[in-house]
Chain A
């Protein structure tokens, strides 16, 4: 629903049982379970994670209860009414009706984690003092019950003077009761402002009030032994074992991506081939047939085969977040990144960057300090995102043998892991450089909540995975499709005039085409890296989006006349027409992968960096610096790999 439509519908008749519309804001501390409750209330498929501060921007959903249309806003997690970070400021602006284009809410739902009542009541009592119709959703009651703790809800209602509804959002328990309470909230007298505990400057009165409330309302079973969660944390948060587990988890993910996706990848390859045969059977030889076969199927088909791996990557990242592991990884990394001028909180956006730099950069809003936030934004694109996956996979499949190393892991997955680690190490090193030069300031201590371990919901994981795959498919079906067509046009025109007695070879035609001429013009720039003009053209085309590299190669090699072998095999067999030597050697492939680890080839990332670094000329300057240093790093590293490899005798190919 658009903001304007929601605005028009609000405050019609906020009376229970009657027809009308109600606008509800969902707030609470990070990791209170807001997003899960939002999904339970609205049935909307929004990403849910056990990750503090995952809700960077508010989401909106709707449901109908007793003919009352209710719009729900899921706001970013907030610790207090004194905002410490940009996303907290957004949440409070919306709550106080100060956000532009977002009308104030009729009812505020404060989501409180029943298992961490004392801490979560701090913010809840501050919200009650706003004097607005408020309902407290006491979430995770199932966990409280499992721990043997009892919460006296009627007493809590009495103490706070507000409606408190016990719920378990992940199990869908208490949701109807909550909907009922929401519908009635506007008709009730506003929450009393009697608490009057002052502002954040003096926290003591508020904490002593909360301690009294908790003492009267909560009966805990004494803890006798270390829980299973404590024992798991002892390993996962260990300074050495924690890091080893993190690297091991990444390796497992990549191994599973290579082996698990293979049958599906083969299936898609077969489907693309079958579609090509159908087209070849229907259309006679000519430009249109070539456009469809070489341009559309050659370009888009070469990208589509990576869908299974991208799906698996998002499935694993989602699972790691939802089990509560990602927050542990950030905690473990805190002690390693602190000497570099960052804190564990910066590691959260960096890990998000494994999926896509855009949400990663947006997640930096949880970082309170400006310099630290800017340094993190500048390096998030160095984390290998899913768009690099097709490039890595193509080159690894073509040049890294599928052998096992010491019987533990495949060499291919180890190479993939090496690329991801290279990006991560480079991100940390560059961030450290920024923090010591342009962005100097003290590093604050990390205060971070570790969410409880939980079993991820397969439905949520699959829905999230499908959402990402759909975005990729839409991109493949629109932008990559159109770019492939255009590249085909550039690779086929102008056509070489030849006689029927001596027709031009596909290689001659390609060299004569506009794309060939562009490629030959830029060849001197890429030759020092060991690349030929075809790689150069593919690199230039992929400045719009990285995966275009693969589709361009698909189009180029199909245009080159040989469309039957899979692209990886075609690359292995490619020979320099003059020297007869292999164009793509393992050394060239590694250099190319290193180039793609470091280069910023994504217009979406440039746009989001401009916005998140302040917009206007300030934002443009930061984005330009980011683009320039990454390009220089990419070129320099690829050159070093190639020249260093040659000097060490790794050869330029047979």
Chain B
């Protein structure tokens, strides 16, 4: 695998990781906002604890 291909693949992976974390952060924020409105729901943080 040439260094150029490696570099492009690396950039693609880093972009995917950024996208994943942004989406996750946005969803957690939305879930927390929803949970604030409806206190009967789950923990709403997506952490899975409890």
Contacts of A57 in B (CB 8 A): 42, 50
Contacts of A619 in B (CB 8 A): 36
Considering only residues 87-133 of chain A, those with a C-beta below 8 Å from chain B are 90, 99-102
Least Cβ–Cβ distance between B23 and chain A, in angstroms? 10
Selected from A100, A284, A486, A604, the residue in CB contact (under 8 A) with B49 is: A604
A10 to B16, CA, bound (A): 42
- The proximity string for A residues 41-76 relative to B, scoring 1 for CB distances below 8 Å and 0 otherwise, is 000000000000000110000000000000000000
Does A286 contact B7, Cβ atoms closer than 8 Å?
yes
Among A392-400, A427-435, A605-613, the one that faces the other chain is A605-613
Does A479 contact B1, Cβ atoms closer than 8 Å?
no
A356 to B14, CA, bound (A): 30
Does B17 contact A607, Cβ atoms closer than 8 Å?
no
- Which residue of A is nearest B31, CB measured? A607
Considering only residues 11-50 of chain B, those with a C-beta below 8 Å from chain A are 13-14, 17-18, 20-21, 24, 28, 32, 35-50
Selected from B21, B28, B32, B46, the residue in CB contact (under 8 A) with A482 is: B21
A603 interfacial contact with B, CB 8 Å: yes
Least Cβ–Cβ distance between B35 and chain A, in angstroms? 5
Residue of B20, B28, B39, B47 with highest tally of chain A CB at under 10 A: B47
A190 interfacial contact with B, CB 8 Å: no
Does B40 contact A90, Cβ atoms closer than 8 Å?
yes
Contacts of B42 in A (CB 8 A): 57
Does B48 contact A471, Cβ atoms closer than 8 Å?
yes
- Which residue of B is nearest A489, CB measured? B14
- Which residue of A is nearest B22, CB measured? A482
- The proximity string for A residues 460-488 relative to B, scoring 1 for CB distances below 8 Å and 0 otherwise, is 00000000000100110011011101100
Does B21 contact A615, Cβ atoms closer than 8 Å?
no
A265 to B14, CA, bound (A): 29
Question: With contacts defined as CB atoms under 8 Å apart, how many contacts are there between chain A and chain B in the complex?
Answer: 102
Does B40 contact A479, Cβ atoms closer than 8 Å?
no
A161 to B37, CA, bound (A): 42
Does A99 contact B7, Cβ atoms closer than 8 Å?
no
Considering only residues 245-289 of chain A, those with a C-beta below 8 Å from chain B are 283-284, 286-289
Which label, helix, strand, loop or mixed, suits the secondary structure of the B interface? helix
Does B39 contact A611, Cβ atoms closer than 8 Å?
yes
Given contacts A356-B50, A608-B45, contact A287 B36 (CB under 8 A): no
A83 interfacial contact with B, CB 8 Å: no
Given contacts A482-B17, A489-B14, A608-B43, contact A286 B50 (CB under 8 A): no
- Which residue of A is nearest B36, CB measured? A615
Does A479 contact B50, Cβ atoms closer than 8 Å?
no
A481 to B44, CA, bound (A): 22
Does B49 contact A359, Cβ atoms closer than 8 Å?
yes
Does A291 contact B10, Cβ atoms closer than 8 Å?
yes
Selected from A99, A603, A616, the residue in CB contact (under 8 A) with B40 is: A99
A54 to B18, CA, bound (A): 38
Does B37 contact A287, Cβ atoms closer than 8 Å?
no
Does B7 contact A611, Cβ atoms closer than 8 Å?
no
Selected from A286, A485, A610, the residue in CB contact (under 8 A) with B36 is: A610
Q: How large is the interface on B (under 10, 10 to 19, 20 to 34, 35 or more residues)?
A: 20 to 34
Does A471 contact B7, Cβ atoms closer than 8 Å?
no
Does B21 contact A483, Cβ atoms closer than 8 Å?
yes
A478 to B17, CA, bound (A): 9
Does B10 contact A288, Cβ atoms closer than 8 Å?
yes
Q: How large is the interface on A (under 10, 10 to 19, 20 to 34, 35 or more residues)?
A: 35 or more
Residue of A99, A481, A611 with highest tally of chain B CB at under 10 A: A611
- The proximity string for A residues 355-391 relative to B, scoring 1 for CB distances below 8 Å and 0 otherwise, is 0101100100000000000000000000000000000
Contacts of B41 in A (CB 8 A): 101
Does B39 contact A615, Cβ atoms closer than 8 Å?
yes
Least Cβ–Cβ distance between B18 and chain A, in angstroms? 6
Least Cβ–Cβ distance between A480 and chain B, in angstroms? 11
Least Cβ–Cβ distance between B19 and chain A, in angstroms? 9
Contacts of B45 in A (CB 8 A): 358, 603-604, 607-608
Does A615 contact B37, Cβ atoms closer than 8 Å?
yes
Given contacts A100-B40, A286-B6, contact A610 B32 (CB under 8 A): yes
Does A486 contact B3, Cβ atoms closer than 8 Å?
no
A615 to B44, CA, bound (A): 12
Least Cβ–Cβ distance between B37 and chain A, in angstroms? 7
A607 to B46, CA, bound (A): 10
Given contacts A57-B42, A100-B38, A485-B13, contact A356 B21 (CB under 8 A): no
Does A479 contact B24, Cβ atoms closer than 8 Å?
yes
A519 to B6, CA, bound (A): 27
Least Cβ–Cβ distance between A465 and chain B, in angstroms? 14
Does B10 contact A287, Cβ atoms closer than 8 Å?
yes
A291 to B46, CA, bound (A): 27
Contacts of A287 in B (CB 8 A): 3, 6-7, 9-10
Selected from B32, B37, B39, B50, the residue in CB contact (under 8 A) with A359 is: B50
- The proximity string for A residues 277-319 relative to B, scoring 1 for CB distances below 8 Å and 0 otherwise, is 0000001101111010000000000000000000000000000
Given contacts A287-B6, A483-B21, contact A604 B40 (CB under 8 A): no
- Which residue of B is nearest A356, CB measured? B49
Does B50 contact A291, Cβ atoms closer than 8 Å?
no
Does B28 contact A607, Cβ atoms closer than 8 Å?
yes
Does B50 contact A616, Cβ atoms closer than 8 Å?
no
Least Cβ–Cβ distance between B26 and chain A, in angstroms? 13
Contacts of B38 in A (CB 8 A): 100-101
- Which residue of A is nearest B42, CB measured? A57
A283 to B17, CA, bound (A): 21
Given contacts A362-B43, A486-B18, A489-B14, contact A611 B49 (CB under 8 A): no
A603 to B45, CA, bound (A): 8
Other contacts beyond A287-B3, A610-B36, A611-B35: 12, CB < 8 A = A99-B40, A284-B1, A286-B3, A286-B7, A291-B14, A356-B50, A358-B43, A362-B50, A478-B20, A603-B45, A608-B45, A615-B35
Binding site for A on B (CB under 8 A): 1, 3, 6-7, 9-10, 13-14, 17-18, 20-21, 24, 28, 32, 35-50
Binding site for B on A (CB under 8 A): 56-57, 90, 99-102, 283-284, 286-289, 291, 356, 358-359, 362, 471, 474-475, 478-479, 481-483, 485-486, 489, 603-604, 607-608, 610-611, 615-616, 619
Q: Can you identify 16 A-B contacts, CB atoms within 8 angstroms?
A: A90-B40, A102-B40, A287-B6, A358-B49, A358-B50, A362-B43, A481-B17, A483-B21, A485-B13, A485-B14, A604-B43, A607-B28, A610-B36, A611-B35, A611-B36, A615-B36
